[in-house]
Every structure is written in C-alpha cells, then in structure tokens.
Amino acid sequence: MIYLKLLRESLIFAMNELVVNKIRTFLSLLGITIGIFSVISVFTIFDSMEIYLRDSINSLGSNVMFVQKWPWGNENVEWWKIMNRDEPDLDDLEAITRKSELMEASSFLAGTNKTLKNGNNIMENISVMGVSYDYPKIMNLEIQEGRFYTEMEARNGRGVALIGSEVAENLFPEGNPIGKNIKIGGYKTYVIGVIKKKGDDAFGNSPDKTLIVPINYLRNFVNLRRSGGTIVIMAKPEVSNDQLRDELTGILRSFHRLKPGEDDDFAINETSVISKTFDAFFGIIATIGWVIGGFSLLVGGFGIANIMFVSVKERINIIGIQKSLGAKNFFILFQFLFEAIALALIGGIVGLLIVFLLVVIINAAFDFGMVLTLGNIVLGVSVSSIIGLVSGFVPAFQASKLDPVEAMRSLS
C-alpha cells in the first residue's frame, strides 16, 4: 500500500507540474516529441518500404533458383568474361529437367516489348513474356478468368495468350476478352485467360500490363539465343537451396563440357542475395534515423533534466517535510524519477500520435500501405522512458540526498 500511495502521489505531483507550468512543460517536452517523431517516422516509412520490398522478393520464392548470364551479387569473375557468356536457352532447360533429381519444377522465361492491337484499340511497348508449361507451379500466377495453356499448346507453340487486367480493359473495353483475338507484332493470338489485377510490385513490374504466351510461340518474333532468358527452378520441399545449387552447377558444367578448374559460364541466383543487399541498405537507413532523431532526443533529455532541477528546487520544503516524517531516500528518489519518466512518456506518446496521424493521411492519399508497427510503438515508448530515467536521475538523486533539517529551513 505504501508503494501504491507513493506512485499515486508522484503521479499527482507530475500532473500538477504539467498544469501549473504549462509553457515550461511544453518547451521541455517539445524536444522529446520531435525526437521520437523523427526516429519513429523514419523507421515507420522505411519499415513499410521494407515490408513492401520483402513481399515482392518473397513472391519470387525463397526455394527458387534462377539460372542466368549475369549474377545478382559479386562474383570473382572479370566482367568481360561474364559479358562473353552465352545466354541460357531451352537446351539448358531440357538438360536440367532430364537430369535433376532435386527439383520440383522448372520453367524458361523470356520477354520482349511489342505493340498489341484489337481493331482500333492499340497498346504500345507492352511486355510480352514467354514461359514454359510449369511456370504456374513456380511463380504465383493468379488467373481471374479463363485458363492457362495446356502442355500440348505449350510444346507446339500455339498462338494463345493470357493478358493482364489493364491490357484487357484497354483492348477490350466492350467486355469479356476470352475467346477473342489480338495481334502481337502482326501475329494473330487467341486470348484464353485474364490475369488477376495486382498493381505494381516494388520493382515496378506489374502483371496488369503483361501478356503471357508459350515460350515456343514467343520464338516467332524473338531470337532467344540472342536475347536470352532465365531458367527458374524450384526445389523439392525437403531440398535446401545449397543442395539444389550444387546439383544444378554439376548438371550445367557437364552439359557445357567445362573442364575441371574452368570458370562457370553461367550464374545461379537466388532471392537471398537481394535480401542481404536490402539488409545492408536498411541498416544504413536505421543509423540515419537515429542520427536525425538523436539530436532532438538529446535536447529533449536536457529539457527534462532542467525541468526536474527546477521542480526539486521548488519543492525542497516538501522534501524536508517528507523526510522529517520518515520518508526514506529511495522514496524521494523514486518519486522524482517517476515524474521524469512520466514527463518523457507524455512527449513520446505525443510524437507517436503525430506519426500515427501521418500514417493515416498517407494511406488515405496514396496507394501505399504505411504501417506503424507494434515494434516501433514499443521502441518509441521505451526510448521515451529511458530518456526520462537518464535525464531525471541526477536531479532525483540530489533530492534524495537532501538533509531534512536544511530542507525544512527553506520554509522560513
């Protein structure tokens, strides 16, 4: 009960100080508010960006390998040697499909930009992507209407296509495009499906503005050996990426007839390379956030310390009375520490409320999902409490060490 009474009295003292000294309190808390707002707003913006980017990366699949000409990360190979590599082709895909025991599925991807026509409706510079039959097993392809092409259609290179929602709206404003024809660079193509609308991902790609055709049909207007493509391989559930990488390396080296000690003439990429790059990037951003908010937090801390020194001086007689009635040093210490933490918490909460309002406004005005995470809320409250504790300790310690007789003399 004594501790509860002490907490209650400390809270009353703190609230009285806030009410009686409004301007002084406001100026003292302003630094904490600005500091917490600066740190948490930076973290909120970049956490939202990180979530958005990682969702886009994860959509590629964490257990998926990409065989390409160029590596995503740094390879210990001169750039001119990489430049002289051949592009992956369908023969490489066939060799992998025939020999791999660790893969669940594989697909070949290649693309180009073409003009699409349906009567007088024209769309220029649209991404036309050719993929092999197992593509939906590996990538997250959601079909809104219609179907994906059959294995026979894929093998024979039939002129069939799945179109993005934006392509459908522009080329077929009158209604359902399923079963109708469009022209891709002069080639008549039969629409068999519409891809579900998703919007742009973090890399600026969108299935809404894309058209998917069988890879063998794409060869009618794209030289795959010259333009190249990407082989995508998904590992079986129990197979690790390292195991799949080792197997793919052995298959491709054997198929390309590379001698022992000779450099690979291909790159095997995975999404973890992108994730590690973003980890480093967001680590730098976190440091910048602390630097931006650190100065305001420092100023806010000095403000809290100042108001606490003044509070101790103004209430020195009350401290003397409390000690003469038997109050222990740690009671007085805790009383002022609680007040300092309460002051800092109020500043931190105000800063968090401003960030929350900013998030609401941005989400309402723009098509971007800003998120004030629980982690950032806890961080804001924790940092505020620590600033209050550190800033208030010296004044509180001085108050706890006051001699009751000397303190009582201040009454006269």
Question: Which residues of 119-186 form beta strands (DSSP E)?
Answer: 121-131, 143-146, 160-163, 181-184
> Is the whole-model pTM more than 0.75?
no
For residue 235, give the DSSP letter: E
In this prediction, residue 387 carries a pLDDT of: 85
Q: Which residue type does 235 have?
A: A
| 139 vs 232: CA distance, rounded Å | 9
For residue 195, give the DSSP letter: E
Q: Print burial letters for 307-346: b (CB count within 10 Å at least 16), e (below 16).
A: bbeebbeebbebbbebbeeebeeebbbbbbbbbbbbbbbb
* Chain segment 305-336, per-residue pLDDT in tens: 877 777 777 666 666 666 666 666 666 777 77
Q: Which residue type does 221 have?
A: F
* Chain segment 139-187, per-residue pLDDT in tens: 878 888 999 999 899 989 899 999 998 899 989 988 889 989 999 878 8
What are the φ/ψ torsions at residue 107 (nearest 5 degrees)? -150, 155
| 402 vs 327: CA distance, rounded Å | 12
314, containing H or E segment: helix 271-314
| 75 vs 9: CA distance, rounded Å | 66
List per-residue pLDDT tens for the chain, 412 residues long: 566 666 666 566 656 666 666 666 676 677 778 878 877 887 787 777 777 776 666 666 667 888 988 887 666 677 777 788 888 888 899 999 999 999 988 999 998 888 899 888 888 888 899 999 999 888 878 888 999 999 899 989 899 999 998 899 989 988 889 989 999 878 899 999 999 887 766 555 677 888 999 999 998 888 877 777 899 998 888 888 889 989 999 999 999 998 888 888 888 888 776 667 677 777 777 777 677 767 767 777 777 787 777 777 766 666 666 666 666 666 677 777 777 787 788 888 888 898 889 888 888 877 667 788 888 888 888 888 888 888 888 877 777 676 665 655 655 4
Can you say how many angstroms the Cα of residue 325 is from the centroid of all Cα atoms in its chain? 57
Q: Which residue is associated with the tokens 């109708």?
A: 180
Compute the C-alpha angle 96/100/102, nearest 5°.
Answer: 135
